[in-house]
Amino acid sequence: MMKSIAYYLIFFIFLLVIVLPAAIVRSCSGFLPEKLDEESQMVKPRELTVSLYVTSKKRIEKIPLEEYVKGVVAAEMPASFKIEALKAQAVAARTYVYKRMRSKGGTGCSLHPEADVCDDPTHCQAWISTGQMLKKWGIFAFYHYYSKISQAVKSTSGMVILYQGEPIDPLFHSTSGGKTENSEDVWGNFVPYLRSVTSPGEESSPKFIAVKQLPVSEVVSKIRQKWPDISIDPQNPEGQWEVVERSEGGRIKKMRIGNRIVSGTEIRELFQLNSTNFKWERDKDKIKFTTIGYGHGVGLSQYGANAMAEEGASFIDILKHYYTGVEIKKMDA
Protein backbone atom coordinates (compact mmCIF):
# COMPACT_ATOMS: atom_id res chain seq x y z
CA MET A 1 0.00 0.00 0.00
CA MET A 2 2.78 2.41 0.99
CA LYS A 3 4.68 1.57 -2.21
CA SER A 4 1.60 2.40 -4.33
CA ILE A 5 1.17 5.74 -2.58
CA ALA A 6 4.86 6.48 -3.12
CA TYR A 7 4.60 5.65 -6.83
CA TYR A 8 1.55 7.92 -7.24
CA LEU A 9 3.32 10.70 -5.35
CA ILE A 10 6.43 10.44 -7.56
CA PHE A 11 4.25 10.40 -10.67
CA PHE A 12 2.35 13.50 -9.47
CA ILE A 13 5.60 15.37 -8.76
CA PHE A 14 6.89 14.40 -12.21
CA LEU A 15 3.75 15.83 -13.82
CA LEU A 16 3.90 19.01 -11.74
CA VAL A 17 7.62 19.74 -12.09
CA ILE A 18 8.48 18.43 -15.57
CA VAL A 19 5.46 17.86 -17.80
CA LEU A 20 3.25 20.83 -16.88
CA PRO A 21 5.91 23.58 -17.26
CA ALA A 22 7.07 22.05 -20.53
CA ALA A 23 3.50 22.02 -21.82
CA ILE A 24 3.01 25.63 -20.79
CA VAL A 25 6.17 26.74 -22.55
CA ARG A 26 5.27 24.83 -25.72
CA SER A 27 1.74 26.18 -25.64
CA CYS A 28 2.80 29.78 -25.08
CA SER A 29 5.64 29.70 -27.58
CA GLY A 30 3.32 28.15 -30.10
CA PHE A 31 0.32 30.43 -29.74
CA LEU A 32 0.76 33.37 -27.38
CA PRO A 33 3.25 35.51 -29.32
CA GLU A 34 1.45 35.01 -32.62
CA LYS A 35 -1.86 35.87 -30.99
CA LEU A 36 -0.40 38.98 -29.44
CA ASP A 37 1.20 39.92 -32.75
CA GLU A 38 -2.08 39.44 -34.62
CA GLU A 39 -4.02 41.53 -32.11
CA SER A 40 -1.35 44.23 -31.84
CA GLN A 41 -0.94 44.58 -35.60
CA MET A 42 -4.65 45.10 -36.23
CA VAL A 43 -4.70 48.73 -37.37
CA LYS A 44 -7.53 50.80 -35.95
CA PRO A 45 -9.10 53.65 -37.91
CA ARG A 46 -6.91 56.80 -37.95
CA GLU A 47 -4.17 55.01 -36.03
CA LEU A 48 -0.63 55.86 -37.06
CA THR A 49 1.34 52.93 -38.42
CA VAL A 50 5.05 52.34 -38.89
CA SER A 51 6.49 50.76 -42.03
CA LEU A 52 9.21 48.62 -40.48
CA TYR A 53 11.77 46.70 -42.49
CA VAL A 54 12.34 43.47 -40.55
CA THR A 55 15.87 42.34 -41.37
CA SER A 56 15.40 38.66 -40.46
CA LYS A 57 12.37 38.40 -42.77
CA LYS A 58 13.72 40.72 -45.47
CA ARG A 59 10.37 42.43 -45.80
CA ILE A 60 8.39 45.47 -44.67
CA GLU A 61 5.68 45.07 -42.04
CA LYS A 62 3.00 47.59 -41.08
CA ILE A 63 2.82 47.92 -37.29
CA PRO A 64 0.73 50.30 -35.14
CA LEU A 65 3.01 53.01 -33.78
CA GLU A 66 2.49 52.28 -30.08
CA GLU A 67 3.07 48.55 -30.60
CA TYR A 68 6.25 49.34 -32.50
CA VAL A 69 7.44 51.44 -29.53
CA LYS A 70 6.94 48.46 -27.20
CA GLY A 71 9.22 46.37 -29.40
CA VAL A 72 11.91 49.06 -29.36
CA VAL A 73 11.85 49.48 -25.57
CA ALA A 74 12.02 45.70 -25.11
CA ALA A 75 15.03 45.51 -27.44
CA GLU A 76 16.92 48.61 -26.36
CA MET A 77 16.56 48.82 -22.56
CA PRO A 78 16.64 46.19 -19.79
CA ALA A 79 13.03 45.49 -18.80
CA SER A 80 14.14 45.28 -15.16
CA PHE A 81 14.77 49.05 -15.16
CA LYS A 82 12.54 51.44 -13.24
CA ILE A 83 9.26 52.36 -14.92
CA GLU A 84 10.20 56.05 -15.33
CA ALA A 85 13.36 55.06 -17.20
CA LEU A 86 11.29 52.80 -19.47
CA LYS A 87 8.89 55.70 -20.07
CA ALA A 88 11.81 57.94 -21.07
CA GLN A 89 13.03 55.27 -23.50
CA ALA A 90 9.51 54.91 -24.91
CA VAL A 91 9.23 58.64 -25.62
CA ALA A 92 12.70 58.67 -27.20
CA ALA A 93 11.82 55.65 -29.38
CA ARG A 94 8.54 57.23 -30.47
CA THR A 95 10.26 60.53 -31.29
CA TYR A 96 12.89 58.75 -33.37
CA VAL A 97 10.39 57.03 -35.63
CA TYR A 98 7.92 59.93 -35.72
CA LYS A 99 10.66 62.16 -37.15
CA ARG A 100 11.24 59.61 -39.93
CA MET A 101 7.66 58.60 -40.76
CA ARG A 102 7.04 59.29 -44.42
CA SER A 103 3.34 59.83 -43.74
CA LYS A 104 4.40 62.82 -41.62
CA GLY A 105 6.87 64.19 -44.14
CA GLY A 106 9.87 62.28 -42.77
CA THR A 107 12.73 60.97 -44.88
CA GLY A 108 12.22 57.30 -43.99
CA CYS A 109 14.98 54.68 -43.85
CA SER A 110 17.90 55.41 -46.19
CA LEU A 111 18.79 51.71 -46.48
CA HIS A 112 15.23 50.65 -47.27
CA PRO A 113 13.50 53.53 -49.12
CA GLU A 114 9.97 52.11 -48.84
CA ALA A 115 10.23 51.78 -45.03
CA ASP A 116 10.10 54.40 -42.30
CA VAL A 117 12.73 52.57 -40.24
CA CYS A 118 14.48 49.20 -40.02
CA ASP A 119 15.21 47.02 -36.99
CA ASP A 120 19.00 47.14 -37.44
CA PRO A 121 20.36 48.98 -34.34
CA THR A 122 23.51 50.02 -36.22
CA HIS A 123 21.33 52.01 -38.61
CA CYS A 124 17.99 52.77 -36.93
CA GLN A 125 16.58 51.39 -33.66
CA ALA A 126 16.56 47.80 -32.47
CA TRP A 127 13.11 46.18 -32.38
CA ILE A 128 11.85 42.73 -31.39
CA SER A 129 8.50 40.98 -31.74
CA THR A 130 6.53 39.49 -28.85
CA GLY A 131 7.80 36.06 -29.87
CA GLN A 132 11.36 37.29 -29.56
CA MET A 133 10.52 38.85 -26.19
CA LEU A 134 9.33 35.46 -24.97
CA LYS A 135 12.60 33.84 -26.02
CA LYS A 136 14.61 36.66 -24.48
CA TRP A 137 12.90 36.68 -21.07
CA GLY A 138 11.43 33.20 -20.75
CA ILE A 139 7.81 32.28 -20.10
CA PHE A 140 7.73 33.16 -16.41
CA ALA A 141 9.25 36.66 -16.78
CA PHE A 142 7.50 37.43 -20.06
CA TYR A 143 4.12 38.40 -18.61
CA HIS A 144 5.65 40.69 -16.00
CA TYR A 145 8.04 42.46 -18.35
CA TYR A 146 5.58 42.77 -21.23
CA SER A 147 2.98 44.25 -18.90
CA LYS A 148 5.56 46.67 -17.47
CA ILE A 149 6.69 47.88 -20.90
CA SER A 150 3.09 48.15 -22.09
CA GLN A 151 2.34 50.34 -19.09
CA ALA A 152 5.33 52.57 -19.87
CA VAL A 153 4.24 52.96 -23.49
CA LYS A 154 0.53 53.48 -22.72
CA SER A 155 1.17 56.10 -20.03
CA THR A 156 3.28 58.15 -22.49
CA SER A 157 1.08 57.47 -25.53
CA GLY A 158 1.61 60.00 -28.30
CA MET A 159 4.33 61.94 -26.49
CA VAL A 160 7.41 63.12 -28.40
CA ILE A 161 10.44 65.30 -27.65
CA LEU A 162 10.53 68.68 -29.40
CA TYR A 163 13.17 71.37 -29.79
CA GLN A 164 11.80 74.67 -31.06
CA GLY A 165 8.66 72.86 -32.15
CA GLU A 166 10.36 70.11 -34.18
CA PRO A 167 11.00 66.46 -33.24
CA ILE A 168 14.59 65.85 -32.20
CA ASP A 169 17.01 63.08 -33.07
CA PRO A 170 16.91 61.42 -29.62
CA LEU A 171 20.30 59.72 -29.56
CA PHE A 172 20.93 57.38 -26.65
CA HIS A 173 23.55 54.96 -25.41
CA SER A 174 24.12 52.46 -22.62
CA THR A 175 26.60 54.06 -20.22
CA SER A 176 28.28 57.47 -20.37
CA GLY A 177 30.75 56.81 -17.57
CA GLY A 178 29.70 59.87 -15.58
CA LYS A 179 29.30 62.59 -18.23
CA THR A 180 27.75 62.63 -21.70
CA GLU A 181 29.29 64.14 -24.82
CA ASN A 182 28.64 67.17 -27.02
CA SER A 183 27.54 66.03 -30.47
CA GLU A 184 30.34 67.90 -32.27
CA ASP A 185 33.00 66.18 -30.17
CA VAL A 186 31.90 62.83 -31.60
CA TRP A 187 30.61 63.56 -35.10
CA GLY A 188 31.65 67.14 -35.78
CA ASN A 189 28.11 68.56 -36.00
CA PHE A 190 26.82 71.00 -33.36
CA VAL A 191 23.31 70.05 -32.23
CA PRO A 192 21.91 72.44 -29.60
CA TYR A 193 19.98 69.83 -27.61
CA LEU A 194 22.81 67.27 -27.56
CA ARG A 195 25.00 68.94 -24.91
CA SER A 196 27.37 67.36 -22.42
CA VAL A 197 25.72 66.84 -19.00
CA THR A 198 26.64 64.98 -15.84
CA SER A 199 25.30 61.43 -15.50
CA PRO A 200 25.92 60.09 -11.98
CA GLY A 201 24.96 56.69 -10.58
CA GLU A 202 25.94 54.52 -13.54
CA GLU A 203 28.23 52.19 -11.58
CA SER A 204 25.61 49.41 -11.72
CA SER A 205 26.22 49.09 -15.46
CA PRO A 206 28.07 45.82 -16.26
CA LYS A 207 30.15 47.81 -18.75
CA PHE A 208 30.92 50.83 -16.59
CA ILE A 209 34.57 49.72 -16.55
CA ALA A 210 36.02 47.14 -18.94
CA VAL A 211 39.51 45.81 -19.64
CA LYS A 212 40.71 44.48 -22.99
CA GLN A 213 44.19 43.11 -23.71
CA LEU A 214 45.66 42.82 -27.20
CA PRO A 215 49.03 41.41 -28.30
CA VAL A 216 51.50 44.14 -29.27
CA SER A 217 51.95 42.50 -32.68
CA GLU A 218 48.20 42.69 -33.34
CA VAL A 219 48.06 46.33 -32.27
CA VAL A 220 50.92 47.24 -34.62
CA SER A 221 49.40 45.22 -37.47
CA LYS A 222 46.00 46.92 -37.13
CA ILE A 223 47.58 50.38 -37.00
CA ARG A 224 49.67 49.75 -40.11
CA GLN A 225 46.68 48.37 -42.00
CA LYS A 226 44.67 51.46 -41.10
CA TRP A 227 47.47 53.96 -41.83
CA PRO A 228 50.06 52.33 -44.16
CA ASP A 229 52.36 55.37 -44.17
CA ILE A 230 52.56 55.64 -40.36
CA SER A 231 55.93 55.68 -38.60
CA ILE A 232 55.81 53.64 -35.42
CA ASP A 233 58.14 51.49 -33.29
CA PRO A 234 56.84 47.89 -33.59
CA GLN A 235 58.53 46.90 -30.32
CA ASN A 236 57.26 49.81 -28.27
CA PRO A 237 54.27 51.36 -30.10
CA GLU A 238 52.53 52.67 -26.99
CA GLY A 239 55.62 54.73 -26.18
CA GLN A 240 54.71 56.92 -29.15
CA TRP A 241 51.09 57.47 -28.09
CA GLU A 242 49.92 60.74 -26.57
CA VAL A 243 46.51 62.30 -25.83
CA VAL A 244 46.32 65.61 -27.68
CA GLU A 245 42.76 66.73 -26.89
CA ARG A 246 39.91 65.61 -24.67
CA SER A 247 36.21 66.33 -25.10
CA GLU A 248 34.06 68.15 -22.57
CA GLY A 249 32.84 64.72 -21.45
CA GLY A 250 36.43 63.69 -20.68
CA ARG A 251 36.87 61.26 -23.56
CA ILE A 252 39.77 61.18 -25.99
CA LYS A 253 39.01 63.45 -28.92
CA LYS A 254 42.42 63.42 -30.60
CA MET A 255 45.65 61.54 -29.96
CA ARG A 256 49.07 61.22 -31.54
CA ILE A 257 50.09 57.78 -32.84
CA GLY A 258 53.67 57.95 -34.07
CA ASN A 259 53.76 60.69 -36.70
CA ARG A 260 49.97 60.95 -37.11
CA ILE A 261 47.11 62.72 -35.30
CA VAL A 262 44.03 60.47 -35.15
CA SER A 263 40.63 60.68 -33.47
CA GLY A 264 39.64 58.76 -30.37
CA THR A 265 36.70 57.38 -32.34
CA GLU A 266 39.07 55.89 -34.94
CA ILE A 267 41.07 54.13 -32.21
CA ARG A 268 37.89 52.91 -30.53
CA GLU A 269 36.65 51.39 -33.78
CA LEU A 270 40.06 49.99 -34.71
CA PHE A 271 40.44 48.03 -31.48
CA GLN A 272 36.69 47.57 -30.82
CA LEU A 273 36.78 49.35 -27.46
CA ASN A 274 33.63 50.10 -25.45
CA SER A 275 34.13 53.87 -25.59
CA THR A 276 36.62 56.65 -26.34
CA ASN A 277 37.18 57.16 -22.62
CA PHE A 278 40.15 54.82 -22.39
CA LYS A 279 43.68 54.56 -21.10
CA TRP A 280 46.41 52.06 -21.94
CA GLU A 281 49.44 50.42 -20.38
CA ARG A 282 52.03 47.81 -21.39
CA ASP A 283 51.64 44.36 -19.84
CA LYS A 284 54.54 42.19 -21.04
CA ASP A 285 53.79 41.31 -24.68
CA LYS A 286 50.32 42.86 -24.56
CA ILE A 287 48.75 46.31 -24.37
CA LYS A 288 45.96 46.61 -21.82
CA PHE A 289 43.12 49.03 -22.57
CA THR A 290 40.84 50.12 -19.73
CA THR A 291 37.62 51.82 -20.83
CA ILE A 292 34.96 53.69 -18.89
CA GLY A 293 31.43 53.75 -20.28
CA TYR A 294 29.83 52.02 -23.25
CA GLY A 295 28.64 53.63 -26.45
CA HIS A 296 29.15 56.94 -28.22
CA GLY A 297 28.18 58.92 -25.13
CA VAL A 298 25.79 61.38 -26.84
CA GLY A 299 22.26 62.01 -25.58
CA LEU A 300 20.43 59.88 -23.06
CA SER A 301 22.45 57.46 -20.95
CA GLN A 302 20.24 54.46 -20.22
CA TYR A 303 21.96 53.50 -16.98
CA GLY A 304 22.04 57.17 -16.01
CA ALA A 305 18.30 57.39 -16.70
CA ASN A 306 17.67 54.39 -14.47
CA ALA A 307 19.80 55.93 -11.71
CA MET A 308 17.72 59.12 -11.93
CA ALA A 309 14.51 57.08 -11.77
CA GLU A 310 15.77 55.29 -8.66
CA GLU A 311 16.24 58.71 -7.07
CA GLY A 312 12.62 59.63 -7.82
CA ALA A 313 12.96 61.53 -11.11
CA SER A 314 10.08 61.39 -13.59
CA PHE A 315 10.53 60.49 -17.25
CA ILE A 316 10.13 64.19 -18.12
CA ASP A 317 12.88 65.09 -15.64
CA ILE A 318 15.11 62.46 -17.26
CA LEU A 319 14.47 63.59 -20.83
CA LYS A 320 14.95 67.28 -20.05
CA HIS A 321 18.21 66.49 -18.27
CA TYR A 322 19.78 64.57 -21.15
CA TYR A 323 18.29 66.66 -23.99
CA THR A 324 18.99 70.35 -23.40
CA GLY A 325 16.19 72.91 -23.93
CA VAL A 326 13.53 70.45 -25.10
CA GLU A 327 9.84 70.08 -24.34
CA ILE A 328 7.71 66.94 -24.25
CA LYS A 329 4.32 67.19 -25.95
CA LYS A 330 1.61 65.05 -27.51
CA MET A 331 2.19 64.74 -31.24
CA ASP A 332 -0.39 65.74 -33.80
CA ALA A 333 -2.51 62.81 -35.03
Answer whether residue 292 shows pLDDT above 90.
yes
pTM confidence score: 0.84
Q: 184 and 312 in contact (C-beta within 8 Å)?
A: no
Mean pLDDT of 60-68: 97
CA dist 120 and 73 (Å) reads 14
Q: What is the pLDDT of residues 130-171, one digit of tens each?
A: 999 999 999 999 999 999 999 999 999 999 999 999 999 999
Q: What is the pLDDT of residues 199-229, one digit of tens each?
A: 999 999 999 999 999 999 999 999 999 999 9
pLDDT reported for residue 22: 42
Helices in 272-330 by DSSP H: which ranges? 302-310, 315-322
Burial class (CB in 10 A: 0-12, 13-18, 19+), 133: buried
CA dist 152 and 79 (Å) reads 11
Going by pLDDT thresholds of 50, 70 and 90, the confidence category of residue 47 is: confident
Please name the amino acid found at residue 223: I
How much is the mean pLDDT over the chain? 89
Q: What is the pLDDT of residues 168-202, one digit of tens each?
A: 999 999 999 999 999 999 999 999 999 999 999 99
